[in-house]
Chain A
């Protein structure tokens, strides 16, 4: 259905593209390849995810997603991702601040290190974190006498999501902070505003949209994260089992409709969460422009 449509749409697009820009050609082959490839690799497969859960009917879907084990897994995935993003928010702001406003030796190295959670394969991160936080690990043995268990508990899930979400807030805030005109801050200083007041009234409002976007990206990444979590989580049903792992468990039992139902509900909850974040973003932007 998606593949049949492109011809006429493409033609009308091509006509419009020619009328608007005229000279440069090659729109139809480039657009045709883009749409065909995107449909085959992303859109048709995702359509299967949207359609397959309903094979077992509405009751089947409800039965799957209202199951206590599924609910516990969804709650853990979304809850831990939210908390991890909430911690990465101030820490990301701090790192971005230091990278833009402070000068110290080794800054370039620090800047590069921020990207490591992007670049390090998740399985590598998973076994590294697990070795660090296991009861006999470098960090695990330090916190164990305090009665804190990180590995094989929900805290482990949170720690892994903290790791994979680290770069997002930094990389959103950094360019905005670089572009921020320091004259306003200087004016505030001359008007007698202290450091805390300058930060809260001049800097923070300008950074808010970037902070929210970074939070949303870190949250979305945490929700879907699999590789770095499973080694550290212990994966106990009802306790430390994340939703993506439950999908794999259901697939191994050949419960395709159930697996698809969990996957689809993850996507839908993420979508709603991102819409809420977007709404907050818009309000913040409006508030920011009114304040300015």
Chain B
């Protein structure tokens, strides 16, 4: 029996469409990814390894990890609090709040850095006060942290809100009716229900925190070995025509991106109900 849906299939057209999609993705995504590793290992694995272990590169790796270690937990905490407030209660202005949480995604990374310079730079609003008190925010670690907090703020909230919305409030209400306080309800009921989405949000937020370039570029001051994160260090090496060095460090960050994608695929495969639909957008 020939069903209409089979009648709608046209093998030649299918072949052409698949071929075109593969060719486009290969050109747009495959080649850029491939060239990172090809350029990094052009002179052999050992040289690439040495480049990544140079003192300035190591300092950049350490700074990148430090910034992420400060920012990711804070934004995770914010995401949990925001998702709890938005999904478990009714209040006016909820849509506005959700829009504001998403705001950092629609702002240019350069603007995300610029705003901190306007506040804390040499001629920023608080610049003179900071100078008088011998405090440094811009061109130092606090500036890098603030810029990174700004750009990676929405990730956890964004993964949690749609999922918790879909899960509803029944379980929390049951817990509360049985006498559990809000904290107990949250830890024993809500948190287990959202753990995979939380993990995924943390993963995305970490990847962004470690990979951010534009925002930290504005607030870093580009002091080698001191305020250069790994993405900024890549720029320095590239501008010095140290291609193998630049691409070796880039390969390190690209591997992080690949791990993120693999983890996403694994989570979607293993816990499809534990993630919001359309996760990662």
Q: Which residues of A contact B (CB under 8 A)?
A: 13, 16-17, 20-21, 23-27, 29-31, 33-34, 37-38, 41-46, 48-49, 52, 91, 94-95, 97-99, 102, 104, 108, 110-129, 131-132, 137-139, 162-163, 166, 171-172, 175, 182, 185-186, 189-190, 195, 198, 220, 223-227, 231, 244-245, 247-248, 251, 254, 256, 259-260, 263, 266-267, 270, 274
Contact = CB atoms under 8 A, between A and B. Distances in A.
A186 B8 contact: yes
A224 B85 contact: no
B108 A42 contact: no
18 contacts: A16-B91, A24-B88, A24-B176, A26-B182, A30-B85, A31-B91, A48-B118, A48-B125, A114-B29, A116-B29, A131-B247, A132-B31, A163-B32, A198-B8, A227-B217, A244-B214, A263-B108, A274-B106
A48 B28 contact: no
B91 A17 contact: yes
Nearest to A48: B118
A185 B8 contact: yes
B169 A247 contact: no
A46 B118 CA distance: 10
B218 A251 contact: yes
Interface of B: 4-5, 7-8, 10, 13-14, 17-18, 20-22, 24-25, 28-33, 35-36, 39, 74, 77-78, 81-82, 84-85, 88-92, 97, 100-101, 103-104, 106-111, 114-119, 121-125, 146, 149-150, 153, 169, 172-173, 175-177, 181-183, 185-186, 207, 210-214, 217-218, 231-232, 234-235, 238, 243, 246-247, 250, 253-254, 256-258, 260-262, 264-265, 277-278, 280-281
Contacts of A112: 261-262, 264-265
A263 B111 contact: yes
B118 A52 contact: yes
A112 B124 CA distance: 43
A220 B5 contact: no
Contact of A21 (B30, B90, B246, B278): B90
